[in-house]
Structure 1
Amino acid sequence: MGNLKSVALLLLFTFFVLHLPFVESDWFINYHIHVTNDLPLLNSPPNQPNLFLHCKSKKKDLGERPMVKGQDYTWDTKVNFWRTTLFFCRASWVGRKTIRFDAFVADRDEMTCRHYHNSCMWSVREKGIYFSKNNATWGNMYPW
């Protein structure tokens, strides 16, 4: 029995030594993903959706959401143990274009999104899907 305890303690110690930065910084952080409809209205009435957004991960389907101009689609996630957390979305601009984009990729976004209160900010615009780590400077990450 004592040998089994020693092995368990050694494994636990090894885990914490190898993963200490991960445990301290990422395991318990809640990331907030925001996708905002910033598409122009063009010929759409202002009170009718001009964007349909469907986001999901391998294990969780957030469903499709019709969005009017200015509306925000938001959800939270944590990074899994293996750092493989991935949420992807399909954005369909009514009568125009459809695109798939990765809204949260753990190894790409966990450090970047920390700069702005653990938030990943996305904006669906006329020329594509834009990303910002500070809600001020935007880059077109997924052109239509």
Structure 2
Amino acid sequence: MGNLKSVALPLLLAVSIIHLPFSESIWFVNYHIHVTNDLPLLNSPPGKPNLFLHCKSKNKDIGDRPMVKGQDYTWDTKINFFQTTLFFCNARWEGRKRRSFDAFVAYRDERRCVMHHQSCMWSVREDGIYFSKDNATWFNEYPW
């Protein structure tokens, strides 16, 4: 009986993946996460970083990124089998504010980010961190 269980789960998984159209199977979708520095310069000279971003998941550290105004921090991910993929970021606006936010959460973003070429777009602004699924409509999801 134990051998039947060890065969049944992989077989069920294979059948479910084959049954789904390729574009609908979340395990094949590559999601693009973009975080853009849209903060005002204020007292920072042009060309000097005014935003410091550190993004990571449980298994992958994307690293620290000093960002100048208008710069985009981008990485790709796929959703894992258990749909628990999570990337979070710590944003520090030089000399002003700090905020942590979830840049990609599988159960939250698998549907909403697929609308615009599988992109999850974030914009760090003076009053918070905004999300857009279409690069046209923005929502302040993480106020400072």
Q: Same fold per TM (> 0.5)?
A: yes
Specify every segment of 5 or more residues in structure 2 that has no aligned partner in the other structure, as ranges.
none
Q: Is 1:85 matched with 2:92? A: no
- In structure 2, the partner of 1:94 is 94
Runs of 4 or more, structure 1, over 4 Å off, are 6-9, 16-24
> What SS is found at the alignment partner of 1:83?
coil
1:22–1:140 distance in 2 versus 1, CA, 3 Å: farther
Spell out, residue by residue over 1:91-117, the C-alpha distance to the aligned partner (whole angstroms, 9 max, x if none).
Answer: 000000000000000000011000000
Whole-Å separation in 1 of the counterparts to 2:103 and 2:52: 15
Q: Is 1:118 matched with 2:125? A: no
1:58–1:11 distance in 2 versus 1, CA, 3 Å: closer
1:129–1:73 distance in 2 versus 1, CA, 3 Å: same
- In structure 2, the partner of 1:68 is 68
Query: Could you tell which deviates more after superposition, 12-21 or 48-57?
Result: 12-21
Deviation at 1:14, TM superposition (A): 2.7
TM-score normalized with structure 1 length: 0.89
Whole-Å separation in 2 of the counterparts to 1:135 and 1:103: 15
Question: For the pair shown, which has the larger CA radius of gyration, 1 or 2?
Answer: 1
Q: Is 1:33 matched with 2:33? A: yes
What is the identity percentage for the equivalent residue pairs of Structure 1 and Structure 2? Answer: 69
- In structure 2, the partner of 1:15 is 13
- In structure 1, the partner of 2:132 is 132
- In structure 2, the partner of 1:143 is 143
Specify every segment of 5 or more residues in structure 1 that has no aligned partner in the other structure, as ranges.
none
TM-score normalized with structure 2 length: 0.89
Whole-Å separation in 1 of the counterparts to 2:21 and 2:104: 18
Q: CA RMSD in A?
A: 2.2
Deviation at 1:12, TM superposition (A): 3.5
Letter in 2 for 1:86: L
1:12–1:61 distance in 2 versus 1, CA, 3 Å: closer
Deviation at 1:17, TM superposition (A): 5.3
Deviation at 1:44, TM superposition (A): 0.5
